[in-house]
Amino acid sequence: MHKRAVGLWWVAGCVGLAAVTFAADAAPPSPYAGQERREIKALSADEMAALGAGQGMGLAKAAELNRYPGPRHVLDLAEPLGLTAAQRAGTERLWTDMRAEAVRLGREILGVESRLDERFRSGTVAEPEVSALTAELGRLQGELRASHLRAHVRLRAILTAEQVERYQHLRGYGTADAQEPAHQHGHMQ
């Protein structure tokens, strides 16, 4: 019985040593693990949906966090901001135009991302293709961001200074609840 217990301990020790050795040799899992199954490897399903729907995705933070309100948020806050009928109509027009442009650009970005992904998947991608496709992505991403930012600039001309201040407060910028104090110059998203 005593020999059997020693034998079991010896076997358990060998198995444990083998497991530790194997674990030490194994690479830690990549943060990308699982993403190889995505439709477009570089984009999550949420990112693809946001691009296809013309959503802001934080592209206009330079405006929003510098006191340039954004059309979607202004429409959501129309009552507490006291928008006039003319202001609401102008904001709706601005939102509709910006969203149409953002949807178009987002779909173009998805198309180029898909082509880039396909070229790598084929295993025959060449450096000139990589350069051309990424340059096109950069151009489209810049246009998309500019579209969102221009809408913020245009909207500021529609609102009064008092409405911009009220927007700041309603969005929680520069209040005790905010993480950082709001910048005192300019307007927001």
Q: Are 182 and 67 in contact (CB under 8 A)?
A: yes
Q: Is residue 84 scored above 50 in pLDDT?
A: yes
Instruction: Provide the residue ranges of all domains of the chain, joining segments of one domain with +.
Output: 43-189
Shortest CA distance to 91 belongs to which of 110, 70, 109? 70
Average predicted confidence (pLDDT) for the chain: 86
- Helical residues (DSSP H) of the chain, grouped into ranges: 2-25, 45-53, 61-64, 71-76, 78-81, 85-122, 127-156, 161-170
The mean pLDDT of 45-58, rounded to a whole number, is 95
Q: Which amino acid is at 103?
A: V
pLDDT at 115: 97
Shortest CA distance to 115 belongs to which of 42, 51, 187? 42
pLDDT at 108: 98
Task: Render pLDDT for 92-108 as a digit per residue (tens, 0 to 9).
Answer: 999 999 999 999 999 99
Residue found by looking up tokens 């198309």 in the block: 111
Q: Is 67 helix (H, G, I), strand (E, B) or coil?
A: strand
